[in-house]
């Protein structure tokens, strides 16, 4: 059943009646949560393995221990993901936007004046702004 539903997704998502749902899911509101949960997904196994390999003896099957360890792993992984996002990912993203994207913008404007393109500088800037808007969606 899951395979049939998964195979039908491209046909369903190109249906215009699902466009409001697609617009909600594509909104930029979800980007920080997606990054945070993906970081937690990548880091949770590290905390689980760290505890498993550093324990002196095994843990008996206990519902309370399983419940508490689950929330401890969940908390540590989301906290670690948040710290990595704030301390590494956001500064690197800002540096990329500051140096890499601005150098492309300046080089395109300079290329207008040096090569004599047929487009005006205003059209070149609007094209660059449009491309940056599209990049921010990803």
Query: pTM, whole model, 2 decimals?
Result: 0.60
The residues, any chain, with a CB within 8 Å of residue 69's CB and separated by 6 or more, are 51
List the structure tokens of 11: 């046909």
pLDDT (0 to 100) of residue 131: 61
What are the tens digits of pLDDT across the range 121-136?
A: 555 555 555 666 656 6
The whole-number pLDDT of residue 84 equals 94
Mean pLDDT of the 15-44 span: 88
Residue 111 is predicted with a pLDDT of 53
CB 44 within 8 A of CB 77: yes
In sequence order, what are the residues at sequence separation of 6 or more whose Cβ sits closer than 8 angstroms to the Cβ of residue 29?
none
pLDDT tens for 105-120 read: 555 555 555 555 555 5
Q: Which of 19-23, 45-49, 92-96 has the lowest mean pLDDT?
A: 19-23
């Amino acid at each position: 059943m899951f395979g049939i539903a998964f195979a039908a997704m491209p046909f369903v998502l190109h249906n215009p009646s699902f466009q409001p749902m697609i617009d909600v899911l594509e909104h930029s509101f979800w980007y920080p949560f997606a990054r945070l949960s993906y970081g937690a997904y990548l880091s949770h196994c590290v905390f689980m393995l760290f505890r498993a390999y550093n324990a002196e003896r095994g843990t008996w099957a206990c519902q309370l221990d399983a419940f508490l360890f689950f929330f401890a792993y969940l908390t540590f992984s989301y906290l670690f993901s948040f710290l990595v996002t704030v301390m590494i990912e956001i500064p690197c993203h800002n540096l990329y936007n500051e140096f890499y994207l601005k150098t492309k913008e300046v080089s395109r404007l300079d290329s207008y004046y040096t090569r004599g393109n047929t487009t005006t500088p205003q059209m070149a800037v609007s094209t660059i702004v449009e491309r940056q808007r599209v990049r921010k969606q990803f």
